[in-house]
């Protein structure tokens, strides 16, 4: 299936999702958000896909935000629907049990920063810039920025980024824990694929249970999280890959995972 604003390429268990409106710095209009949801629904049911990478087309932007030409027309009620739909799409990505890596190749502003925040891992090119500049437009972040940014870094730094609308560069993003790694732009995609391939080489039942377990940290108390972890650990003990992984270690050979 083809999409108007998104390129989807699946190879060797890795899906590459490219936001493809480079002339608008990959700004997320409604049509693109709808397509993004469709793409992720498709990837969820595709058993051949183990890991997803999201990036933006061109060398300038990951995503420069929600499309301001659409925001400009919103009234109050439409604003609520607008924010809730973006939140729904980004929560779907965040709750994906297959790992999602954001390869941030330039501006990640507003909805672009919020999209990166909803991914499980964030890699950035040296020219990447992150920010929540919504107050410059007289609005606030609406696709989860006030919540996910405060949880990922801390509320003080999130407050500073949101209230000043200042952009931060990739090295500052690395320093404050907003991204996992920074690479020269020319290496970004090969490094993202390298990480995705490493994850894809593991037993995928364990990978998915690990993603679900770590993601509970934002939603539950420590004790509830530990309960989830014990349950997910028990589930991993019921897999074929658990038998294979432990047996391979004892036999001093590489495991041959079958993802069951
Ligand atoms: N929504 C709609 N269109 C956008 C956009 C957005 N969020 N961000 C960029 N564009 C469009 C521009 O309007 C321009 O379109 P045009 O060529 O038809 O005029 C095109 O993308 C290129 O952007 P431009 O502003 O000319 O590039 P620049 O290099 O001068 O500046 C930015 C880059 C990212 C600093 C600037 O585009 C910007 O500030 N964008 C908005 C960021 C923002 O506020 N995001 C949060 C939205 S809630």
How does residue 66 score in pLDDT terms, banded at 50, 70 and 90? very high
pLDDT at 218: 87
Q: Is the pLDDT at 239 greater than 80, yes or no?
A: yes
pLDDT at 160: 98
What Rg value do the Cα atoms of the chain yield, rounded?
19
How many CA atoms lie within 13 Å of 259's alpha carbon, on the beta-carbon side?
13
Point out the catalytic residue in the list 114, 172, 244, 251: 114
Give 68 Cα–ligand 1 centroid separation in angstroms. 8
Query: Using one digit for the tens of pLDDT, what is the confidence trace for 203-238?
Result: 999 999 999 999 999 899 999 999 999 999 999 999
What DSSP string runs through 178-240?
S-SEEE-HHHHHHHHHHHHHHHHTS-HHHHHHHHHHHHGGGTS-HHHHHHHHHHHHHHHHTSH
Q: Is the pLDDT at 23 greater than 90, yes or no?
A: yes
- Supply the residue whose CA is at minimum distance from atom 7 of ligand 1: 65
Point out the catalytic residue in the list 35, 47, 84, 134: 134
Question: Is residue 134 flagged as an active site residue?
Answer: yes
Q: Which helix (DSSP H) or strand (DSSP E) does residue 86 occupy?
A: helix 76-94
Mean of pLDDT values over 2-26: 97
Query: Using one digit for the tens of pLDDT, what is the confidence trace for 88-133?
Result: 999 999 999 999 999 999 999 999 999 999 999 999 999 999 999 9
pTM for the full predicted model: 0.97
What DSSP string runs through 88-151?
HHHHHHHT-SS-EEEEE-SEEETHHHHHHHHSSEEEEETT-EEE-GGGGGT----SSHHHHHHH
- Supply the residue whose CA is at minimum distance from atom 19 of ligand 1: 24
Q: Is the pLDDT at 154 greater than 80, yes or no?
A: yes
What percent of the chain lies above the pLDDT cut of 90? 99
Query: Using one digit for the tens of pLDDT, what is the confidence trace for 159-193?
Result: 999 999 999 999 999 999 999 999 999 999 999 99
Mean pLDDT of the chain: 97
């Amino acid at each position: 299936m083809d999409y108007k604003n998104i390129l989807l390429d699946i190879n060797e268990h890795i899906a590459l999702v490219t936001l493809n409106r480079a002339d608008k710095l990959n700004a997320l209009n409604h049509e693109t958000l709808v397509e993004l949801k469709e793409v992720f629904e498709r990837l969820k049911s595709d058993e051949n896909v183990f890991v997803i990478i999201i990036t933006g087309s061109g060398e300038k932007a990951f995503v420069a935000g929600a499309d301001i030409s659409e925001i400009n027309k919103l009234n109050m009620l439409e604003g609520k629907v607008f924010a809730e739909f973006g939140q729904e799409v980004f929560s779907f990505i965040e709750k994906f049990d297959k790992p999602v890596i954001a390869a941030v190749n330039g501006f990640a502003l507003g909805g672009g920063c919020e999209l990166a925040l909803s991914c499980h891992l964030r890699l950035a090119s040296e020219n990447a810039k992150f920010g929540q500049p919504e107050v410059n437009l007289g609005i606030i972040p609406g696709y989860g920025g006030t919540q996910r940014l405060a949880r990922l870094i801390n509320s003080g730094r999130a407050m500073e980024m949101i209230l000043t609308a200042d952009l931060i560069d990739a090295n500052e993003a690395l320093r404050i824990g907003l991204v996992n790694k920074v690479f020269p732009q020319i290496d970004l995609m090969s490094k993202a694929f390298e990480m995705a391939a490493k994850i894809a080489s593991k037993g995928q039942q364990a990978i998915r249970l690990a993603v679900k377990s770590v993601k509970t940290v934002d939603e539950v108390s420590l004790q509830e999280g530990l309960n989830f972890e014990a349950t997910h650990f028990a589930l991993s003990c019921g897999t074929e890959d658990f038998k294979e992984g432990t047996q391979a270690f004892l036999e001093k050979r590489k495991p041959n995972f079958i993802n069951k």
